[in-house]
Each structure stands twice: as C-alpha cells, then as structure tokens.
Amino acid sequence: MTELNNSELIRLSAAQLAVKLAAREVTSVEVTQAYLDRIADVDGQVNAFLHVNAEEALAVAAEVDAIRAAGGAEAEELHELAGVPIAVKDLIVTIGQPTTAGSKILEGWHSPYDATVIKKLRAAKMPILGKTNLDEFAMGSSTEHSAYGPTRNPWDLDRIPGGSGGGSAAAVAAFEAPLALGTDTGGSIRQPGAVTGTVGMKPTYGAVSRYGAIAMASSLDQIGPVSRTVLDSALLQEVIGGHDPFDSTSLTDPFDTLVAAAKTGNVKGMKIGIVKELHGEGYQAGVENRFNESLELLKEAGAEIVEVSCPNFKYALGAYYLIMPSEVSSNLAKFDGVRYGLRVLPKDGPMTIERVMGATRAAGFGDEVKRRIILGTYALSAGYYDAYYGSAQKVRTLIQRDFDAAFAQADVLISPTAPTTAFRLGEKLDDPLAMYLNDVATIPANMAGIPGLSLPGGLADEDGLPVGIQLLAPAREDARLYRVGAVLESLLEEKWGGPLLAQAPELKNAALGTASNSAGGSN
Amino acid sequence: MAAINRDDVAHLARLAHIEMSAEELDRMAGELAVIVDSVKSVSEAAGDDVPATSHPIPLSNVFREDVVGHTFTAEQALSGAPDSFEGRFKVPAILDED
C-alpha cells in the first residue's frame, strides 16, 4: 500500500521516485500505471504522445517489482532508476513501437533495431511510456510542424510548447512522465524546456550516442535529457551517456561525475559570464527581468558575474540556416519510397522510380521539411557552395573562437534560453524567419559542440508564462552545468516556495469536459 | 550573391526529387528569397585566413576491428519496405522507357 495518492505520486521527481521504489514504499507498476492514467486523463488536450506503450511499460515495471520483491544479488544490482518510467521523443528508433519522426513519410514504420540510448534504458529497466510528438524530423520551434497535430503547452493550451521536442517537454510539464528523451540540433531540448518550465540538457556533442536518432543535421544533433529537476537530468544523462562504437563521433570521456556535481552544487568563487550578444535588444522584458533576478541570486551565493562579448554570434543564426539545411538535404535523401515508409505512385504518366520518388516525397514531407531540403540543395549547389556552405563553416570556427575567448574569462556562461515566452499557436506559422529567431540563443552551442542546460527561471510579469535560463560550459564540462544549475534551481525554488511547476494551472480531466485553462494560475 | 527565383526552386525541387505544384513553387520561391536574403551576410563574416569547421569536436582515426558485427536478416531489412520480391526491394522501372 502506498501512502501517496496518484496525484502526489506523479509529481515526485525521478530521484524521489527512485528512493521510494528502492525502499519498496511504492511499486513500479503503481507508478507506471499512475502515469498511464494521467496520460489517459490529460493527453487528449496536450497531445504530447504519438504512441502510448502501456503493455510493455507495465511488463517492465512488473519485472522490476518482482526482482525487488525477491531481493538478493539481482535486486542489489538494479540501476538506481530501475522502475522509473520515461517518455521518448519519436525521432529515436525503438523495437516494438512505431517511429514516425512526426512525418507522414514514416507513418506506421517499425524500426528493426533499438537506438543505443533505448538499449541503455532497457538495461536500466526503465519502463518506456511511449513516443512523444515533435516537429517533423525535428524541424521547428513550436511542434506545429508535426504531421500529427501540434502539442499544446500545459501552462496555456492555446500556446506552443516549444520545439522541436515540444512533446517531451509538455509530457514532463503536464506530469505525464517524470523524465523524457529529447534531441537538440539548434535548441530542440532547451527551448521547449524554457517555455514549459522544465529542465532540458544538451550534452557535449558526442557525450551521448546518436546511433538510432533519425539524423537531421549530423554535425549538430545531440540526444539529451528532459526532466523537472537538474538532478534528474544528471541521473538520466549518466544512464544514456558513454562511448558507443556504433557512433563514430562518440566520445570516450567517462561523463560519470554529473550526478555528484548536481548534488554538491556550489558557485562560490566561480566566474559566471553574461554574453553581451545574448540578451537585451530583441528579448521580452519579462524574460530580461527573470534573467537579471537569477544573476542577483548567483551573485548573492558567491559567484562573480563578468560580462563577455561574442561578436560573431550575430552570424550564428545565418550560418546555422545554411549548415543545417545542407545536412538535412543529404540526410533526408534516403526517404524515397524504396526501403521504408510511404510510397506514392504518380497519378498519370510513366511509372519510373524517379517519378515515384518525386510523388512520394511531395506527399510524405510537410512544408517546413521541403523548405529546408530545397534551401540545403541550393546552399550545396555548384557556384554557391563556397559563398554559402563554405562561409558558414568558417563562421563555425569564429563562433568556437568566441567561446574560447569567453571561457578564458568565465567558468560558465549564462543567458536567457529563448528571447520570448511561449507564443500562441499559429502566430508564427506563416513566417518561417520569425520562427527561426526563437533559436537565436541556443544555436551557438550546437555550432561549437558545447553543452547547454536550460532550467526554469520563473514567470514573466506580463504574461505569467515560464522563462528559461540557459547555462553554457566548455566542451566535456557538462558537470559544471549541473553544479551551477542545481545551485540556481535551489535558490529560485527557495524564493518561490517550491518548484515552478507547482504554479502551473491544473489540467482538467479530458474525460470530464473541455479544456478550461487560465495562464499564470498560482497556489 | 544572386537572389533565388522561381526557376531556381523548380530546378532544385527536381534535383531533390520533390514534385511541386505551380502554387507551391510560387510560395516556396517567395519564402526562400526572404530566408536567403537573411543569411547572405554570412559570406562576408570570415576572411580567407579562417579555416572551415565541419565537425565541432575534432576526432581522428576512429577505427574498429574489421570483423563482422550485427547484421539484419533479409526479412528484417525488408520489414518496412513498401514492396519486395524474393528477398529484394522491388521498385518501378529504373530507366525511363520513352
């Protein structure tokens, strides 16, 4: 018998759940079922999940419970997070569940293999609750480019949950999962974290294997954790990280001090750098206010705040929108109606493979994917290659040099994660360039391969919506982000009197009626 | 740098194997012109002395032993194929017959 009711159970952090599971105060089946019930209750409104994996999740949970009940060596050897459920972004391939990448071109496709991170979740015996919604092939900042309808922000159902990993962030924010996996190519873990009041971590490029993450832009993509607390992300990164011979870009560094760093957070004497180019003009006033408040708290805790300048960041967005689509145009060439997924035959005329490919890709891809494939094909074409792709790769070097200079003056850098809070569904859908600007503060980290963490920084005064604070560290220094992040999180929670998500409005049970949801509710 | 026009988009769409309607070409040409215009400053950002970066974390000579690892059975490899025949992917005519 558990003393907690389901509503309390699903609000525990993964670390708290792990303690209760190990002490056998609660079973994994109870926890997993509580989350499945929550998904059944609220996901009709949130649309965070594309597939719910109830049967397999409960079977894994029962297995963990049986091992714990039997005791002995096998129970001793269970991973700390064994029995803690998790949701997975539907860009990551899984045996036994469909993988769509949010695209019609892969509707109904089942992978014959598991991604490395999935193998690691299975080895840790973490029940997989299901697959979460995303912008098609992870291209977008709002989840509105999903072929299966947008995900909605649990703080205000009329607003976007960020993207591309809006499904993973919304699932965690709406207490439909304690943890989730995301992927981050230009901010797709961090920006959804910022606008949903959750934590999202993009590890150092190569710290977590990309094997089995459907590639968008291979030199930028990175799998990482999505959670409600900094410690939970550290716990999850230690599960999924480590060298993988199946990913030739995988690092051999151990990354095994992340949890310890989150638990022993201390910023005394640390130098924290404000990047002049990553706040101020173009950033919403409420975002700036919360950002300044976090700086004050860090200063009071003994950190030294310094200002650094990264003058080449003004080219980062442009360079990103050349490099990323170039890699997209190459990576997505394999979706051609031959080996997997959709095949569409031309309505009339000769039935050649080229025409079948053209019809398949026309019907299977959405507008944003087509835009990026065409843009990438353009940037790579003869006559434009040097001016576009070549120049963008040089900008990448300049951005790395800016970071090197900044990290010579500061241990970590800090900025708002996104320039605004969550905007309304539809607001930027017809203006691709306005949509791209959401990633202005997150893209530099991907260009340089360095780690970035977003954590909740409070609610903006003007709209009562979550603001994200981003921390950046040099490559391989992921532990530093967890150390500083945990300190800032505890200082902010002390100020708020609890986690930020405790202030989120209650989602009504979808079965009982329609959504009634007011932003900025408080308890 | 030249602006991108409708003919360019039509050509690129053919290269990328994406059929596009006239309406789609019009819309895409307009949208891409705005995007290309916004990224063109990139070509002026770096001088000739700046080396290009293609990969964020330099790694070299990533080798493994040359032994056969995990492979899929033909059945697994064909499990997601839209069409197959006798253990092979089946596709329409590869050569245009007219």
Tens digit of each residue's pLDDT (9 = 90 or more) over A155-169: 999 999 999 999 999
Inter-chain residue contact A394 with B38, CB threshold 8 Å: no
Read off the pLDDT of each residue in A345-361 and give the average, rounded to a whole number.
Answer: 93
Kindly list the residues from chain A whose CB atom is less than 8 angstroms away from the CB atom of residue B42. Answer: 315, 318-319, 322, 388, 391-392, 395
The band of A434, judged by pLDDT with boundaries at 50, 70 and 90, is confident
List of residues 6+ apart from A201 with CB closer than 8 A = A189, A190, A224, A225, A226, A233, A237, A451, A452, A453, A454, A478, A481
What confidence score (pLDDT) does residue A265 get?
81
Inter-chain residue contact A339 with B81, CB threshold 8 Å: yes
What confidence score (pLDDT) does residue A517 get?
41
Tens digit of each residue's pLDDT (9 = 90 or more) over A307-339: 999 999 999 999 999 999 999 999 999 999 999
Q: What's the CA gap between B33 and B9, in Å, rounded?
A: 10
What confidence score (pLDDT) does residue A370 get?
98
Structure tokens at A151: 């995900």
State yes or no: pLDDT of A267 exceeds 60. Answer: yes
Question: B86 CA to chain A: closest CA distance, Å?
Answer: 15
State yes or no: pLDDT of B47 exceeds 60. Answer: yes
Report the complex ipTM: 0.94
Kindly list the residues from chain B whose CB atom is less than 8 angstroms away from the CB atom of residue A318. Answer: 38-42
By Cβ distance, the residue of A312, A394, A436 closest to B52 is A394
Strands of A62-205, DSSP E: 86-89, 128-132, 179-183, 199-202
Please give the distance of CA B80 from its chain centroid, rounded to a whole number. Answer: 21
Read off the pLDDT of each residue in A2-14 and give the average, rounded to a whole number.
Answer: 89
Inter-chain residue contact A251 with B51, CB threshold 8 Å: no
What confidence score (pLDDT) does residue B97 get?
55
Inter-chain residue contact B45 with A391, CB threshold 8 Å: yes
Residue to mutate among B15, B35, B38, with most A CBs inside 10 A, is: B35
Measured between CA atoms, the residue of chain B closest to residue A446 is: B56
What confidence score (pLDDT) does residue B70 get?
85
Q: Where are the alpha helices (DSSP H) in A380-414?
A: 391-409
A vs B, Cβ pairs < 8 A, gives: 187
- The per-residue pLDDT of chain A, averaged, comes to 95
Residue to mutate among A380, A384, A391, A476, with most B CBs inside 10 A, is: A391
State yes or no: pLDDT of A59 exceeds 50. Answer: yes
> For every residue of A317-347, which 3-state class applies, written as one string?
HHHHHHHHHHHHHHHHHHCCCCCCCCCCCCC
Measured between CA atoms, the residue of chain A closest to residue B28 is: A371
In order of their start, the domains of chain A are: 6-309+405-503 (3.90.1300.10)
A427, A463 Cβ separation under 8 angstroms:
no
> For every residue of A475-487, which 3-state class applies, written as one string?
CCCHHHHHHHHHH
State yes or no: pLDDT of B98 exceeds 80. Answer: no
Inter-chain residue contact B56 with A219, CB threshold 8 Å: yes
Kindly list the residues from chain B whose CB atom is less than 8 angstroms away from the CB atom of residue A352. Answer: 92-97
Inter-chain residue contact B46 with A351, CB threshold 8 Å: no
List the one residue out of A454, A448, A499, A500 whose CA is nearest residue A476. A448
Kindly list the residues from chain A whose CB atom is less than 8 angstroms away from the CB atom of residue B17. Answer: 333, 336, 354, 357-358, 361
What confidence score (pLDDT) does residue A508 get?
77
Kindly list the residues from chain B whose CB atom is less than 8 angstroms away from the CB atom of residue A359. Answer: 19
By Cβ distance, the residue of B14, B42, B57 closest to A205 is B57
In terms of Cβ atoms closer than 10 Å to its own Cβ (0-12, 13-18, 19+), residue A508 is middle
pTM of the model: 0.95
3-state secondary structure of A399: helix
Inter-chain residue contact A318 with B39, CB threshold 8 Å: yes
Tens digit of each residue's pLDDT (9 = 90 or more) over A409-425: 999 999 999 999 999 99
By Cβ distance, the residue of B17, B62, B91 closest to A358 is B17
From A31-40, A187-196, A285-294, B2-11, the region with the lowest mean pLDDT: B2-11
What confidence score (pLDDT) does residue A520 get?
36
